[in-house]
């Protein structure tokens, strides 16, 4: 039987229905299917690193639950703010991992916005199992992972802003190597002497929150935001750190208050950086994670630069032989207070596998997990017992103990100021710092930063 | 031949249906099925393209428009705020400033793109050998095929103040290193340079095609009448290719107003906000500060600005563009 003639209208109608179906199907396929058998981890880095981690974590996870498949998805970025921007966009699109790698930069952002699940109940329940971990980890790091009295992450690694230097260039400039109690004046004199060597940067730095001019700001007893401590947290200090003097006076996490970005200490610190540039001691800095700076240092073209434990493996991998680089505490200005950042893995509030996720997070705190998570000596272990001469035997630096002793030598050392509006703070800091370097007017740039931060703080209430 | 006009006041006669040569063929059921299948295939193809446009262009625009009336931070449910987002734009210095930055960059890029593209096209048009023309066309078009992100990354290294190859040669020539990416003027110039370097191939190819299509008789007549190269260019060629110039300006401006990659990768919008374009502000607002509603409102303003600019160009084109 012949088909009835197809009118244009019917065809358009059918096309419309088809279009709607196609749209529905496409949209449905865009939404990630909920997989009850997959434990998803969002990893900051490239996919090869994530795959390597998955290969090494798969077995322990299977031991916890043989029916579960481990998925580790990498999100690359030049710095933590890029990672969090991408992560939050993924979450908005419906892709919700169970576990997320989070650093100080994102703790309050994740906790304050209700994305991260507090670990208080789990920690309290499994304290006996975790006591060995808490005995080994500085309470300063743990406090940096708290928000409003609750603990959101168990710190696995950290990096304090120490000063790397090239003994080779110090020698060429006829300088003594920096002593642990060296001062900003010593640093300045060393910079001026090294600046006379052609084709090198006596001091190199990058524009970012961690280890930028902010290191000088901290040493100058300043900060971008008013420092405070949230109430609470005694449930942890009394139980896990009972009798530990380093835990005395700690609260429920850092409470970042009103912006003080244009304080005299901040203006002085940024003016000092401008002065370094004017005198040819430091170049105009790049914005970002510092890979270029590290590459220049590895090439022997940088005299000094702020770095943490993560530089040791990086410089070694870049071909620097032991003895060609070393590290010292950050120089003393008004104080010798350092800044630090720490990182770990957080459980998302939306996860329907929190119990299993907790087991994985807990498993990552075991001593043998550290090198699985961070192969190649690219950070400082949060566990003090893992900072050993043997760890740095191959990579250097000679004074590796600087990394692990910073927190104990300088107890006033504090985390970078990363409030709930960290991304806005980071953007504003980068813009205003480059503005100050370009114009040479630190005061005007920091007045602008103050307004930016007040606006950002106001936007989140 | 057109049908004669009906007499005034009378009902027009029904227009005779023209006889189609395949009318006899159409009557057979097989032919009818074949035509229906052909039509279905055609509509199917159009439907696919339509679905893609609907899903990936019109849909997001409409969604963005809807979202611009809400406050939404991704995490908590959207909250209707009416026109508040639009009202906030006028007093947001960051947005106003970035529109200014974008305008400066966009107009500089378009002006240079058109001028350099035309200049190169004129040079190539003078070559007689087709192979030479093909080589030049390929060479000038190649940068357009490269990823903007990749180009921006290697340009960042080339223009690095400390170890960039540009400053290296400048110092060899006795000059001093220029802070290409770390001074306001340097950053603007570098970004314009990179954007023009990469996109000039587009205008160049358009102009080469337009020049090749110029009527030979007109050009020969101009030559016989003694028109020199400059007069020939200004009085004959430019007016004749003015529709192409107009098209290049419209497309170039729409693209340049959405400049993002180069500024984001090379300067992060700095120093300060010297190269912070409006698309960067939209990115920062929505994806970094999690103000998706406000970011959408800024996007809508940019969309409206682009439509207005294009409309203005079309208005001006009535005076300046010569359609033969």
**Are A221 and A334 within 8 A, CB to CB?**
yes
pLDDT (0 to 100) of residue A31: 47
CA separation for the pair A234, A246 (Å, rounded): 14
Q: Of A424, A431, A459, which is closest to B272 when you measure between CB atoms?
A: A431
| Range from A82-86, A220-224, B26-30, B175-179 that averages highest in pLDDT | A220-224
Query: Using CB atoms within 10 A of its CB, is residue A448 exposed (0-12), middle (13-18) or buried (19+)?
Result: buried
Comparing CA positions, the residue from A62, A124, A145 lying closest to residue A360 is A62
pLDDT (0 to 100) of residue A205: 95
Whether chain B has a CB inside 8 Å of the CB on A435: the answer is yes
Whether chain A has a CB inside 8 Å of the CB on B60: the answer is no
Band of pLDDT at residue A130, cut at 50, 70 and 90? very high
Q: Which two tokens stand for residue B189?
A: 């110039």
Chain A residues in contact with B161 by the CB 8 A cut-off are 283-284
A424 and B270 in contact by Cβ < 8 A?
no
Whether chain A has a CB inside 8 Å of the CB on B287: the answer is yes
Query: Is the pLDDT at A21 greater than 60, yes or no?
Result: no
For residue A95, the 8-state DSSP code is -
In the 3-class helix/strand/coil scheme, how is A232-263 assigned residue by residue? CCHHHHHHHCCCCHHHCCCCCCECCCCECCCC
Share of chain A above pLDDT 90, in %: 72
CA separation for the pair A50, A70 (Å, rounded): 11
- Residue-range domains of chain B with CATH: 36-80 (no CATH), 86-320 (1.10.3720.10)
Whether chain B has a CB inside 8 Å of the CB on A11: the answer is yes
Q: Which of B97, B182, B265 to mutate to test the interface with A (most CBs of A within 10 A)?
A: B182
Q: Which two tokens stand for residue A241?
A: 């750190």
**Per-residue model confidence as pLDDT tens digits over A102-128:** 999 999 999 998 889 999 999 999 999
Contacts of A439 (CB under 8 A, 6+ apart): A445, B184, B271, B272
Chain A residues in contact with B40 by the CB 8 A cut-off are 6, 11
Q: Of A88, A284, A301, which is closest to B161 when you measure between CB atoms?
A: A284
Helix H or strand E segment including A328 = strand A326-328
Q: Of A2, A18, A424, which is closest to B47 when you measure between CB atoms?
A: A18
B36 and A6 in contact by Cβ < 8 A?
yes
Distance of CA A381 to the CA centre of its chain: 14
Query: In this structure, how many other beta carbons lie within 10 angstroms of the beta carbon of residue A238?
Result: 11
CA separation for the pair B146, A109 (Å, rounded): 37
Q: How many A-B residue pairs are in contact by the CB < 8 A criterion?
A: 112
Band of pLDDT at residue A27, cut at 50, 70 and 90? very low
**Are B45 and A14 within 8 A, CB to CB?**
no
pLDDT (0 to 100) of residue A87: 86
Contacts of B111 (CB under 8 A, 6+ apart): none
pLDDT (0 to 100) of residue A22: 45
pLDDT (0 to 100) of residue A34: 57
CA separation for the pair B226, B109 (Å, rounded): 36
**SS3 at position A101:** strand
pLDDT (0 to 100) of residue A154: 98
Whether chain A has a CB inside 8 Å of the CB on B184: the answer is yes
Whether chain B has a CB inside 8 Å of the CB on A124: the answer is no
Which residues in chain A (196-255) have CB-CB distances under 8 A to chain B?
201
Contacts of A280 (CB under 8 A, 6+ apart): A195, A202
CA separation for the pair A347, A101 (Å, rounded): 9
Among all residues of chain B, which has the CA nearest to that of A15? Answer: B47
Lowest mean pLDDT among A32-36, A225-229, A257-261, A306-310: A32-36
For residue A332, the 8-state DSSP code is B
Which residues in chain A (170-189) have CB-CB distances under 8 A to chain B?
none
| Angle, CA of A228, A231 and A234, to the nearest 5° | 125
Contacts of B44 (CB under 8 A, 6+ apart): A15
Chain B residues in contact with A423 by the CB 8 A cut-off are 288-290
Query: In this structure, how many other beta carbons lie within 10 angstroms of the beta carbon of residue A175?
Result: 17
Give the predicted TM-score (pTM) of the model. 0.84
Query: Is the pLDDT at A327 greater than 90, yes or no?
Result: yes
Strands A339-347 and A206-207: unpaired
Pick B58 or A8 by higher pLDDT.
Answer: B58
pLDDT (0 to 100) of residue A445: 97
CA separation for the pair B197, B193 (Å, rounded): 6
A431 and B284 in contact by Cβ < 8 A?
no
Mean pLDDT of the A48-67 span: 88
ipTM of the assembly? 0.80
For residue B285, the 8-state DSSP code is I
Which residues in chain B (25-54) have CB-CB distances under 8 A to chain A?
29, 32-33, 36, 39-40, 43-44, 47, 50-51, 54
Strands A302-307 and A162-165: antiparallel
Tell me phi and psi for residue A380, to 5 degrees.
-100, 130
Comparing CA positions, the residue from A380, A455, A342 lying closest to residue A80 is A342
pLDDT (0 to 100) of residue A3: 44
Q: What is the mean pLDDT of chain A?
A: 90
Among all residues of chain A, which has the CA nearest to that of B27? Answer: A5
In the 3-class helix/strand/coil scheme, how is B149-188 assigned residue by residue? HHHHHHHHHHCCCCCCHHHHHHHHCCCCCCCCCCCHHHHH
Looking at chain B, list the stretches that DSSP marks H as alpha helix, in order from N- to C-terminal side: 23-26, 29-53, 59-67, 84-91, 93-126, 130-145, 148-158, 165-172, 184-212, 216-224, 229-231, 238-256, 261-266, 278-283, 292-320
Tokens 């020939």, residue? B232
DSSP for A247-313, written as a single string:
GTT--SSB---SB-TTSHHHHHHHHHHHHHHHTTSS-PPEESSSHHHHHHHHTT-EEEEEE-THHHH
Tokens 């642990």, residue? A180
pLDDT (0 to 100) of residue A289: 72
pLDDT (0 to 100) of residue A222: 97
Residues of chain A with CATH 3.40.190.10: 38-159+341-390, 161-238+247-339+417-459
Name the region of A441 (left: φ>0; alpha: ψ -120 to 50; beta: rest).
beta
Whether chain A has a CB inside 8 Å of the CB on B271: the answer is yes
Pick A454 or A459 by higher pLDDT.
Answer: A454
Among all residues of chain B, which has the CA nearest to that of A77? Answer: B265
| Angle, CA of A207, A209 and A212, to the nearest 5° | 50
Whether chain B has a CB inside 8 Å of the CB on A278: the answer is no
**Are A200 and A303 within 8 A, CB to CB?**
yes
Which residues in chain B (94-153) have CB-CB distances under 8 A to chain A?
none
Using alpha carbons, list the distances in angstroms from residue B140 to A262, B109, B150, B208.
49, 16, 18, 11
A3 and B73 in contact by Cβ < 8 A?
no
Q: Of B36, B75, B162, which is closest to A113 when you measure between CB atoms?
A: B75
Whether chain B has a CB inside 8 Å of the CB on A13: the answer is no
**Per-residue model confidence as pLDDT tens digits over B295-312:** 999 999 999 999 999 999
CA separation for the pair B196, B262 (Å, rounded): 11
**SS3 at position B43:** helix
CATH code reported for the domain at A38-159+341-390: 3.40.190.10
Name the region of A123 (left: φ>0; alpha: ψ -120 to 50; beta: rest).
alpha
B287 and A88 in contact by Cβ < 8 A?
yes
Which residues in chain A (376-405) have CB-CB distances under 8 A to chain B?
none
Each residue's pLDDT expressed in tens, for chain B with a length of 324 residues: 344 444 444 455 555 555 555 555 556 888 888 899 999 999 999 999 999 999 999 999 999 999 999 999 887 889 999 999 999 999 999 999 999 999 999 999 999 999 999 999 999 988 878 888 889 889 999 999 999 999 999 999 999 888 899 999 999 998 888 999 999 999 999 999 999 999 999 999 999 999 999 998 888 888 888 888 888 888 889 999 999 999 999 999 999 999 999 999 999 998 999 999 999 999 999 988 889 999 999 999 999 999 999 999 888 888 777 766
Comparing CA positions, the residue from A70, A66, A75, A20 lying closest to residue A45 is A75
Pick B62 or A292 by higher pLDDT.
Answer: B62
CA separation for the pair A62, A69 (Å, rounded): 8
Question: In which order are the strands placed within the sheet that holds A162-165?
Answer: A201-204, A302-307, A162-165, A326-328
DSSP for A385-407, written as a single string:
GG--HHHHTTT--TTTHHHHHHH
Looking at the DSSP bridge assignments, the partners of residue A137 are A383
pLDDT (0 to 100) of residue B13: 52
Tokens 């060597």, residue? A197
pLDDT (0 to 100) of residue B1: 38
A85 and B55 in contact by Cβ < 8 A?
no
What is the fold of A161-238+247-339+417-459? D-Maltodextrin-Binding Protein; domain 2 (3.40.190)
Nearest chain B CA: its distance from A32 CA (Å): 17
Whether chain B has a CB inside 8 Å of the CB on A83: the answer is no
Band of pLDDT at residue A455, cut at 50, 70 and 90? very high
**Per-residue model confidence as pLDDT tens digits over A135-181:** 999 999 999 999 999 999 999 999 999 999 999 999 999 999 999 99
**Per-residue model confidence as pLDDT tens digits over A236-290:** 999 999 999 999 999 999 999 999 999 999 999 999 999 999 999 999 898 877 7
Looking at the DSSP bridge assignments, the partners of residue A380 are A158
Q: Which two tokens stand for residue A343?
A: 């990182």
**SS3 at position A356:** helix
For helices B59-67 and B292-320, angle between their N-to-C axes, nearest 10 degrees: 120
Pick A414 or A29 by higher pLDDT.
Answer: A414
**SS3 at position B41:** helix
The per-residue b/e assignment along A404-443, b for 16 or more CB within 10 angstroms, e otherwise, is bbbbeebeebbbbbbbbbbbbbbbbbbbbbbbbbbbebbe
pLDDT (0 to 100) of residue B29: 85
Q: Which two tokens stand for residue A24?
A: 């529905």
Comparing CA positions, the residue from A204, A221, A193 lying closest to residue A332 is A221
Chain A residues in contact with B179 by the CB 8 A cut-off are 284, 438
Q: Which two tokens stand for residue B37?
A: 């299948």
DSSP for A410-455, written as a single string:
-TT-EE----TTHHHHHHHHHHHHHHHHHH--HHHHHHHHHHHHHH
Query: Using CB atoms within 10 A of its CB, is residue B312 exposed (0-12), middle (13-18) or buried (19+)?
Result: exposed
Nearest chain B CA: its distance from A346 CA (Å): 17
B182 and A113 in contact by Cβ < 8 A?
no
């Amino acid at each position: 039987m012949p088909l009835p003639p197809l009118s244009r209208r019917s065809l358009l109608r059918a096309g419309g229905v088809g279009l709607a179906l196609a749209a529905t199907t496409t949209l449905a396929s865009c939404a990630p299917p909920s997989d009850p058998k997959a434990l998803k981890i969002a990893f900051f880095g490239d996919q090869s690193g994530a795959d390597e981690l998955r290969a090494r974590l798969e077995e322990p996870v299977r031991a916890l639950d043989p029916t579960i498949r481990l998925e580790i998805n990498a999100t690359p970025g030049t710095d933590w703010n890029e990672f969090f921007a991408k992560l939050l966009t993924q979450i908005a699109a419906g892709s919700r991992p169970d576990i997320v790698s989070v650093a100080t930069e994102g703790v309050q952002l994740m906790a304050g916005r209700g994305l991260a699940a507090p670990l208080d109940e789990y920690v309290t329940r499994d304290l006996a199992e975790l006591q060995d971990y808490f005995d080994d980890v500085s309470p300063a790091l743990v406090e940096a992972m708290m928000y409003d009295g609750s603990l959101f992450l168990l710190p696995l690694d950290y990096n304090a802003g120490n000063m790397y230097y090239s003994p080779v260039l110090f020698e060429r400039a006829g300088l003594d190597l920096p002593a642990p109690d060296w001062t900003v004046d010593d640093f300045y004199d060393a910079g001026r002497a090294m600046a006379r060597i052609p084709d090198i940067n006596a001091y190199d730095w990058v524009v970012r929150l961690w280890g930028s001019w902010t290191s000088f700001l901290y040493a100058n007893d300043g900060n971008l935001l008013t420092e405070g401590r949230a109430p609470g947290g005694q449930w942890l200090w009394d139980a896990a750190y009972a009798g530990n003097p380093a835990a005395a006076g700690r609260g429920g996490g850092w409470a970042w208050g009103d912006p003080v970005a244009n304080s005299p200490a901040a203006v002085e610190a940024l003016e000092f950086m401008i002065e370094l540039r004017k005198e040819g001691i430091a170049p105009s800095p790049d914005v970002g994670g510092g890979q270029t700076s590290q590459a220049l240092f590895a090439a022997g073209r940088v005299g000094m630069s702020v770095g943490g434990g993560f530089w040791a493996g990086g410089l070694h991998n870049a071909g620097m032989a032991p003895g060609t680089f070393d590290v010292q505490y950050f120089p003393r200005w008004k104080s010798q207070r350092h800044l630090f950042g720490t990182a770990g893995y957080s459980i998302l509030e939306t996860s329907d596998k929190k119990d299993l996720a907790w087991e994985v997070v807990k498993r990552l705190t075991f001593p043998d997990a550290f090198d699985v998570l961070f192969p190649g000596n690219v950070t400082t272990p949060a566990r003090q017992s893992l900072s050993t001469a043997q760890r740095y035997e191959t990579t250097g630096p000679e004074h590796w103990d600087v990394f692990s002793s910073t927190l104990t030598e300088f107890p006033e050392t504090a985390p970078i100021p990363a409030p709930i509006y960290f991304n806005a703070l980071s953007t504003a800091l980068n813009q205003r710092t480059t503005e100050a370097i370009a114009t040479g007017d630190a005061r005007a740039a920091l007045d602008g930063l103050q307004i930016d931060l007040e606006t950002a703080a106001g936007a989140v209430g | 031949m057109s049908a004669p006009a009906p007499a005034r006041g009378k009902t027009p006669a029904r227009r005779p249906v023209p006889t189609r040569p395949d009318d006899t063929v159409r009557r057979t059921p097989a032919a009818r099925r074949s035509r229906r299948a052909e039509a279905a295939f055609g509509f199917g193809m159009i439907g696919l393209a339509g679905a893609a446009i609907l899903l990936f262009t019109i849909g997001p625009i409409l969604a963005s428009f809807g979202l611009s009336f809400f406050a939404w931070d991704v995490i908590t449910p959207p909250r209707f705020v009416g026109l508040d987002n639009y009202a906030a734009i006028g007093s947001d210095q960051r947005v106003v400033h970035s529109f200014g930055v974008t305008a400066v960059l966009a107009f500089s890029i378009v002006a240079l793109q058109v001028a350099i593209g035309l200049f190169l096209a004129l040079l190539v048009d003078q070559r007689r050998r087709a192979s030479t023309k093909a080589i030049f066309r390929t060479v000038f078009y190649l940068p357009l095929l490269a990823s903007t992100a990749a180009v921006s990354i290697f340009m960042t290294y080339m223009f690095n103040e400390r170890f960039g190859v540009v400053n290296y040669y400048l110092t060899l020539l006795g000059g001093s290193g220029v802070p290409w990416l770390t001074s306001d003027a340097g950053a603007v110039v570098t970004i314009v340079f990179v954007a023009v370097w990469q996109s000039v191939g587009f205008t160049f190819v358009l102009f080469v095609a337009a020049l090749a299509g110029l009527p030979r008789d007109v050009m020969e007549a101009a030559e016989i009448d003694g028109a020199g190269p400059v007069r020939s260019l200004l009085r004959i060629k430019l007016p004749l290719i003015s529709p192409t110039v107009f098209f290049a300006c419209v497309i170039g401006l729409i693209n340049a107003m959405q400049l993002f990659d180069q500024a984001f990768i090379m300067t992060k919008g700095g120093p300060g906000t010297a190269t912070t374009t409006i698309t960067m502000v939209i990115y920062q607002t929505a994806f970094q500060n999690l103000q998706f509603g406000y970011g959408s409102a800024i996007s809508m303003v940019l969309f409206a600005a682009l439509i207005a600019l294009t409309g203005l160009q079309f208005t001006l084109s009535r005076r300046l563009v010569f359609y033969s």
